[in-house]
Amino acid sequence: MKVLYLYKDYYPVLGGVENYVRQLAEAMRERGHETEVLVTNTHWRGVREIIEGIPVTKTGRLLNLASAPVSLTMFSDLYRRLLSSAHRPDIIHLQFPYPTGELAWLSSRLLTLGGVARPKTVLTYHSDIVRQKRLLKLYSPFLGRVLKNVDTILATSPQYIASSPWLQNLADKCVVAPLGVNYERFANVQTDKVAALKAKYGAGQPLLLFAGRLRYYKGLQFLLQALPYISAACKLVVVGIGPMEAAWKAQATALGLNDRVFFVGEVGDDELPAYYQAADIFVLPACERSEAFGIVQLEAMAAGCPVISTELGTGTSYVNQSGVTGLVVPPSNPSALANALDQLLTNPNLRLQMAARAQQRIQTEFTIQQMTSRTEQVYQDLCRNSV
């Protein structure tokens, strides 16, 4: 099969969706499929590259509109592919939300009026549009048409299908295909690095870990508010950068937490597994539905770390099962976070049991191989039904 992945950015730009597209493109090519990627460049000039064996077209970017790059040449590039029998994909795989890509695909359907064969289309629904409410008002008529006309919608959890106002009425065309993680990368113990991190940040106390982009919906402010009310001694390591970094550092200072909270910035891919392994508890205190899945939970669980997360009606509590792999608490609730942390910090045996069950859950449900196989099956079913 020829598969074209369409989104706004691709590696070396880093992000949850960018990593997902890269993992699928590379894994599908390893399975013998022809995969290509169509995204925007970080500036106005377009380029074509080969990245780890994957042909990547990056069209010129005119501007950013509500975090969505606008590129007119993305439209023309997609049209040229569809008009050429040699370059026409069997499958187009969209990533939502990205209005420019979705509109390019929607407008390309007009080419079928001239007799051009129409590829099957899969859309992975990563998240509702949560914060850009004005944009959603303008875009909602187009979004409805996109969701109605794609052949299959991939949802990352059953909870998101049930709770999303856009997916509830389209459940019959949704397939659950959770995200995956490289289990071996995070499970292989890095003894020396782990010991060094524990000594540097823990100083004999249990370590809490937060990792991710420092954005409004991550809810780190509530974890910081919870720390003074935790009766058990502990330290917190914060991995990541983002627009809320300065505000959250100032909050930690105002709360008198500078000796308990360590903002370490970005951590390289090679170093990240050791941070998860050094942690006694991983905390994802997300407060908005923008946290649709929480792939950092997968990484922590693969490393053998129990998780405390929040109930958002999204995939966060599908991944982390309360009482099994960790604990789930209400969002925006420092008191509930403090109580959950105390429960695990004072019970090392419970933490070990949850850590073992967390690793088992990753192995049985959330590997890259399983994610790829589920997606490949969708592709094959669509192509088979089109014959």
**What confidence tens digit (pLDDT) does each residue in 116-135 have?**
678 999 999 998 877 666 66
The answer to whether the CB of 290 falls within 8 A of the CB of 284 is no
pLDDT band for 99, please (50, 70, 90 cuts): confident
Tracing tokens 């073992």 back to the chain, one arrives at 356
- The conformation of residue 180, written as its DSSP 8-state character, comes to -
Tokens of 348: 């090392």
Residue 66 has pLDDT above 90, yes or no: no
The answer to whether the CB of 217 falls within 8 A of the CB of 191 is no
- Exposure pattern of 320-352 as b/e (b: 16+ CB <10 Å)? bbeeebbbbbebebbebbbbbbbebbeeeeebe
- The conformation of residue 228, written as its DSSP 8-state character, comes to G
pLDDT band for 190, please (50, 70, 90 cuts): confident
pLDDT of residue 131: 67
Mean pLDDT of the chain: 93
Does the predicted TM-score (pTM) go above 0.95? Answer: no
Reported as type and span, the H/E element at residue 94 is strand 91-96
Residue 204 has pLDDT above 80, yes or no: yes
Cα end-to-end distance, the chain, whole Å: 13
Range of lowest pLDDT (36-45, 67-76, 124-133, 375-384): 124-133
pLDDT in tens, 210-239: 999 999 999 999 999 999 999 999 999 999
What is the Cα 28 distance to its own chain's centre? 19
Q: Can you tell me the mean pLDDT for 5-16?
A: 89
pLDDT of residue 85: 82
Range of lowest pLDDT (141-150, 200-209, 217-226, 271-280): 141-150
The answer to whether the CB of 214 falls within 8 A of the CB of 248 is yes
Q: Can you tell me the mean pLDDT for 170-183?
A: 96
**Do strands 326-329 and 261-265 pair parallel, antiparallel, or not at all (unpaired)?**
unpaired
Residue 84 has pLDDT above 90, yes or no: no
Rounded percentage of the chain residues whose pLDDT exceeds 90 = 78
Distance CA(189)–CA(11), nearest Å, equals 27
φ/ψ region of 203 (left if φ > 0, alpha if ψ in -120 to 50, else beta) reads: left
